[in-house]
Amino acid sequence: MKIFTTRENLHNYLDERRLNNKTIGLVPTMGALHNGHLSLLDFAKSQTDEVVCSIFVNPTQFTDPTDLEKYPRPIESDIKKLESAGCDVLFNPPVSEMYTANETWHLNIGHLEHLLEGAIRPGHYQGVTQIVSKLFNLIEPDIAFFGQKDYQQVLVIDKMVQLLNMKVKVVMCPIVREDGGLAMSSRNVYLNAADREHALVLSKALNLAKEQFAHHTFTELTNLATDFINTEPGVKLDYFEIADGDSLYPATPLSKKIVALVAARVGNTRLIDNVILS
């Protein structure tokens, strides 16, 4: 696996690959890689010739400085995982390579960045679109792969690509879960044994909503899932929403795609999860 830390070296390398008619796949990550990330790599390998994984803990998408400071950065073990997974290129730049000292610009992609996660973490998606647009401009991938666990993020990035007429195709890959159903996340390392038990209520509530989908109204389903989560100790619910899968506004009977999204604090760790209901 080739490892680049500068934009220039990565760019020169990828230009050469493109001249050889290779298609480029991008898996953007913030590291602390788990099987969810590795499944994105597998998708990328099956659909493109040259797979680039970026590891960059993006400071502008963190709304809490302590969260940024303590974010896991196990780069040596990440490199081993990428090598065993057959990744072609790792791009692991320092912050100074991606940002000048004081960047205040942001993209305005409309309502999607302000709902749900955007409401709880104002500015988060502006940071995400800032870094992802920089990565897309630099790497010019044919296809970029993102996990469904961050469902809203995928919609936000899709919208950005659409608004800026970018050529990249955005692919959303299924959530990978641990044995009990907990969605894989780099933040799961923060959970102690009791938190892990409590956290299972989130995927169980989503399954409950899926099972009961045909038998209840959206409000009934939301109440059912919310009550179920609220009985679990150690879990503080931020939201459980049944939303239109394209706009993320509350679902209506006219919604073509419907998704249930949940976010909660389990112990000191904030977790999100979702399931596509129809």
What residues are labeled active site?
Answer: 37
Place of tokens 């990328």: 44
Q: Which is nearer to ligand PAF, 190 or 213 (CB)?
A: 190
Contact set with ligand PAF (CB under 6 A): 28-30, 58, 61, 128, 131-132, 150, 153
The half-sphere exposure of 232 on its side-chain side, counting CA atoms within 13 A, is: 24
Strands 235-244 and 258-266: antiparallel
Q: Which is nearer to ligand PAF, 130 or 255 (CB)?
A: 130
Q: Which is nearer to ligand PAF, 126 or 222 (CB)?
A: 126
Distance CA 74, CA 167 (A): 32
Distance CA 258, CA 252 (A): 9
Phi, psi of 272 (to 5 degrees): -130, 155
Q: Where do the DSSP E strands lie in the chain?
A: 2-4, 24-29, 50-55, 89-91, 143-147, 169-173, 235-244, 258-266, 269-276
Least distance to ligand PAF from the beta carbon of 189, Å? 14
Residues 172-186 as b or e (16 or more Cβ within 10 Å = b): bbebbebeeebbbbb
Q: In 3D, which of 144, 197, 192 has the Cα closest to residue 172? A: 144
Q: Which is nearer to ligand PAF, 58 or 222 (CB)?
A: 58
Looking only at Cα atoms, what is the longest distance across the chain? 58
Q: Is 40 left (phi over 0), alpha (psi -120 to 50) or beta?
A: alpha
Q: Which is nearer to ligand PAF, 27 or 242 (CB)?
A: 27
